[in-house]
Amino acid sequence: MPSAVNPRNGVTKFTNCRILRGNALVIGDLWVSSVTGKIIRSQEAFYDEFIVPDEIVDLGGRILSPGLIECQLNGAFGFNFSTLMDDMSQYEQELKTLNQKLVETGVTSYVPTVTSQVPKLYHKVLPFLRPSGHRRAAEDGAESLGAHVEGPFLSPGRNGVHNANTLRQAQTFEDIEECYGAANVNPPNNGQPQPVRMITAAPEQGNMTKLIPEITSRGIIFSIGHSEATYEEASAAVGAGATMITHLFNAMNPLHHRNPGIFGVLGIAESLPRPYFGVIADGIHLHPTTVKIAFNAHPDGFILVTDAMHMVGLPDGSYQWTNGDETNRLVKKGTRLLLEGSNTLAGATITLIECVSNFLNWSGASIPEALRAVTATPAAMLGLEGVKGTLDGGADADLVVLSDEDEGSGVKLVVDEVWKFGDRVFKRS
Ligand code: ZN
């Protein structure tokens, strides 16, 4: 029986909620522990042992989803990950502040993205972007799952806003080590992962396709992007171990009926596994119908990303941006972000939950299908099935409470609460 005075046990019970389970929202309860930071595996054991939760959270029928996972974020709230500072302790401080603000948007873990840069910058900043969840501290905010280096091994014809002076080619893995720093792309001996989790590169440049097995053998995901690869070249990259495509359709050759290009690998029905792919659903990078076609081509590989720049969360205006050896200005107007004096898109300024709402309204997909694109699917892409992106017992207790508000023009998902490792870190006022 429960004792008269229950010692606090760090257990929270969520009740009266619609829980995201696979492709359904299931009415039920969920128990989490802030001591282990995990979702409790067997609720029955708790009933048998008469454990009383510290707190019961009645969600009044709202949605309980795993925390959102962002796979392409260049910065936010005024801080860009591709920034070299004279005093790198300032970088660490800015990163800390970003993580605490980012978590309030519902993003509980993410892959900080560094664009094409000179080696010196990679060597300095990547150690700060290594996976950060080992402390399992809710107050740290959003957790890095490791860095995404987007470039500089890109096609000069598809560099977008990446500084052309920084682009290079790799002939051997030593070229990759020299660029990013050997310690950043090789697992250390202490069992911890290395800072880099994902590389976006053009497989047709230099000797890159042959280097893909070297990259993936180190636990690094190879993503095809900023590339002029033909269908055959993209297929060869997938055959060599590429499991991801960076912002599908953007910075690559468009689908041609006689050469389907990179998009074509989503149609592969032979022995190759189809890769995952990121899609920017900001209403600017892609037409809504294009997003819908991409989803229907391979729903299990569909991942929503923001590709947001550091102006996300800031007011409209003109902002300085150091890009490799150049300093440019970017103009933010609403969710549109352009290189000053041009029509070149320079990333996005949208939050991940806004992308989910956009996708919901454009595609006719269900809420579980839309949420899967920012939870279970990115977790699977990153090799974190059962750890992140799920509400199954034993997974990390990273949660978001969502309201689905019908605005007449469509459904809008709103982040009401965020929980990290079993502790509440945000509540909407
Ligand atoms: Zn890009």
- Within a domain: residue 235? yes
Distance 160 CA to ligand 1 centre (A): 7
3-state secondary structure 268-319: CCCCCCCCEEEEECCCCCCCHHHHHHHHHHCHHHEEEECCECCCCCCCCEEE
Are 259 and 363 members of one domain? yes
Q: Is residue 15 part of a domain?
A: yes
pLDDT of residue 141: 98
How many C-beta neighbours within 10 Å does residue 110 have? Answer: 28
Q: Is residue 387 part of a domain?
A: no
Is 2 within a domain? Answer: no
Is the model's pLDDT at 60 over the cut of 70?
Answer: yes
Residue from 210, 213, 200 nearest 276 by CA: 200
**Measured distance CA(94)–CA(100) in Å, rounded:** 10
* 428 or 269: which leads in pLDDT: 428
Span from the CA of 357 to the centroid of ligand 1 (angstroms) = 22
24 in the same domain as 74: no
Range with lowest mean pLDDT among 33-37, 39-43, 236-240, 299-303: 39-43
Give the helix/strand (H/E) hosting 386.
none
Cα(60) to centroid(ligand 1), Å: 40
Looking at the structure, tell me whether residues 366 and 297 fall in a common domain.
yes
**Domain annotation covers residue 249:** yes
Q: Which distant-in-sequence residues (6+ apart) come within 8 Å of 297 by Cβ?
A: 263, 266, 267
* 60 and 76 in a common domain: no
Number of structural domains (the chain) is 2
Rounded to the nearest 5°, which phi and psi values hold at 67? Answer: -60, 150
State the distance from the centre of ligand 1 to the C-alpha of 154, rounded, in angstroms: 10
Claim to verify: residue 151 and residue 196 sit in the same structural domain: yes
Please provide the size of the chain in residues.
Answer: 429
Q: What pTM did the predictor assign?
A: 0.95
Task: Give me the percent of the chain exceeding a pLDDT of 90.
Answer: 74
Is 1 a member of any domain? no
Residues 59 and 85 in one domain: no
Are 115 and 163 in the same domain? yes
Decide if pLDDT at 5 tops 60. no
Q: Is residue 4 part of a domain?
A: no
The pLDDT score that the predictor gives to residue 3 is 46
Q: What's residue 45's pLDDT?
A: 59
Shared domain check, 246 and 113: yes
**Of 82, 61, 99, 146, whose CA–CA distance to 388 is shortest?**
146
Distance of alpha carbon 328 from the chain centroid? 26
CATH code for the domain in which residue 422 is found: 2.30.40.10
Residue-level pLDDT at 83:
92
HSE on the CB side for 46, CA within 13 Å?
A: 19
> Ligand 1 centre and the CA of 343: distance in Å?
16
- Kindly state whether residues 99 and 190 are assigned to the same domain: yes
pLDDT given for residue 190 in this prediction: 85
Q: What is the pLDDT of residue 2?
A: 46
Say if residue 37 is in the same domain as residue 74.
no
CATH number assigned to the domain comprising residue 119: 3.20.20.140
What number of CA atoms fall less than 13 Å from residue 408's CA on the CB side?
0
Confidence (pLDDT) at 1: 44
Range of the domain at 195: 68-381
| Residues classed as catalytic | 307
Q: How far is the CA of 138 from the centre of ligand 1 (A)?
A: 31
Domain assignment present for 359: yes
Residues 373 and 252 in one domain: yes
Give the chain's mean pLDDT.
92
In this predicted structure, which of 69-83, 159-173, 217-231, 333-347 has the lowest mean pLDDT?
333-347
C-alpha 384 – ligand 1 centre gap (Å):
24
Do 408 and 329 fall within a single domain?
no
The Cα 222–Cα 346 span in angstroms is 23
CA–CA dist 376, 102 (Å, integer): 19
